[in-house]
Amino acid sequence: MNLPYLSKTDINSKKVLLRADLDVSLEKSTSDIFRLEALIPTLNFLNERKCRTIIIGHRGRPEGKNEKNSLKDICLKLSNLLEKEIKFIPEIFSDSVKREIETLQEGEFLMLENLRFDEREENDDESFVRSLSSYGEVFVNEAFATSHRNHASIVEIPKYLKGFLGLRFEKETENLSKVFENPDRPVVAVISGVKKDKVLYAKALTKIVDKVLVGGRLPEYLENEKSVREFRDNDKLIIANLIYDKEDITLHSVERFKEEIKKAKTIVLAGVLGKYEDEGHRQSTKEIFEAVANSDSFKIVGGGDSLVAIEMYNLTKKFNWVSVGGGAMLEYLTKGSLPGIDALLH
């Protein structure tokens, strides 16, 4: 795909509507802050080109206006990381919002309130998108972790504004594409966690990788499939056995997974193997994550709990790429695109 990257366009002095990954909790220290840090290169890029930037995004599932989901503290944190003021506007649509945008100076930033305070964001409402689009001259999508969602600010704004992918989004596509575009083989994916939709990703990955190792609570959703003890060499899906309380995988499963990891030349790691926050169920996650990190393969990792775990074990710097997205990463790997990308192309 010939993708519309921000890095390859002349955007000087434009009024930019920037969709950002702002769905974070400042009480956490790893994956959430990492998402905000990942925005800084694009914000600096826009600042250097004297753009007037309106930052938009969502936080949580507020189901109406809920102050605990306000973006006010996110705005302050991002300002501190950027070392430049980002003015917060506690509204999305009003005459005062329009006035603030009209008085924005070159190189200045402001952030609007949580888009999900307006139910039309998730309902893909045309009037909502038209009003939002009126704020900018161009659109930049720097919300990789949300771009697998068909929400108004992700897929509809490009109908009204010329759109580009941000600097971080560009690096995500370049690094993740290495898994399915002439990768070094064998390619092994470790898919774990508790979300049932990951089972669909695990099965889809069997079409592009050589082995998919399934852990976490996902084996519960695959009870009709052969487990690790019944696995044959030509099987692509290797499903762990769970221990008695189902909060971790068995030691035999760990050893079987490590055999495949040792042979791998490219590895995708998405999800923790057990209830790692509980010391008594931490062993499999620690062993598998260390086995991947110490491998000589090209290795990528994504997903909130995965990022917490690699920081816990001081493994972050051993990965070739750390994705800001979990579900978005898996969707991009299995489909080669995302709704947020398709919207810009079509």
CATH topology of domain 6-170: Rossmann fold (3.40.50)
From the list 127, 142, 119, the residue with the least C-alpha distance to 45 is 142
The domain limits of the chain are: 6-170, 180-333
Please, which residues have CB within 8 angstroms of residue 266's CB and are 6 or more apart in sequence?
178, 179, 183, 184, 185, 186, 187, 188, 209, 297, 298, 299
Q: For position 2, what pLDDT does the model report?
A: 87
Q: For position 222, what pLDDT does the model report?
A: 87
- C-beta of residue 342 within 8 angstroms of C-beta of residue 156: no
Q: For position 14, what pLDDT does the model report?
A: 97
Q: For position 25, what pLDDT does the model report?
A: 85
Are the folds of 6-170 and 180-333 the same? yes
pLDDT tens series, the chain, 346 aa: 789 999 999 999 999 999 999 999 887 656 678 999 999 999 999 999 999 999 999 999 887 777 889 999 999 999 999 999 999 999 999 999 999 999 999 999 999 999 999 999 988 788 999 999 999 999 999 999 999 999 999 999 999 999 999 999 999 999 999 999 999 999 999 999 998 999 999 999 999 999 999 999 999 998 767 666 676 677 899 999 999 999 999 999 999 999 999 999 999 999 999 999 998 999 999 999 999 999 999 999 998 899 999 999 999 999 999 999 999 999 999 999 999 999 999 8
Q: For position 68, what pLDDT does the model report?
A: 87
Q: Rounded to whole angstroms, how far apart are CA atoms 210 and 235?
A: 9
User: What one-character-per-residue DSSP string does 57-107 give?
Assistant: ---S--SS--GGG-SHHHHHHHHHHHTS-EEEES-SSSHHHHHHHHTPPTT
Q: Rounded to whole angstroms, how far apart are CA atoms 194 and 247?
A: 10
CATH code assigned to 180-333: 3.40.50.1260
pLDDT digits (tens, 9 = 90+) for 198-239: 999 999 999 999 999 999 999 999 876 766 667 667 789 999
Q: Rounded to whole angstroms, how far apart are CA atoms 229 and 250?
A: 11
Total-model pTM: 0.93
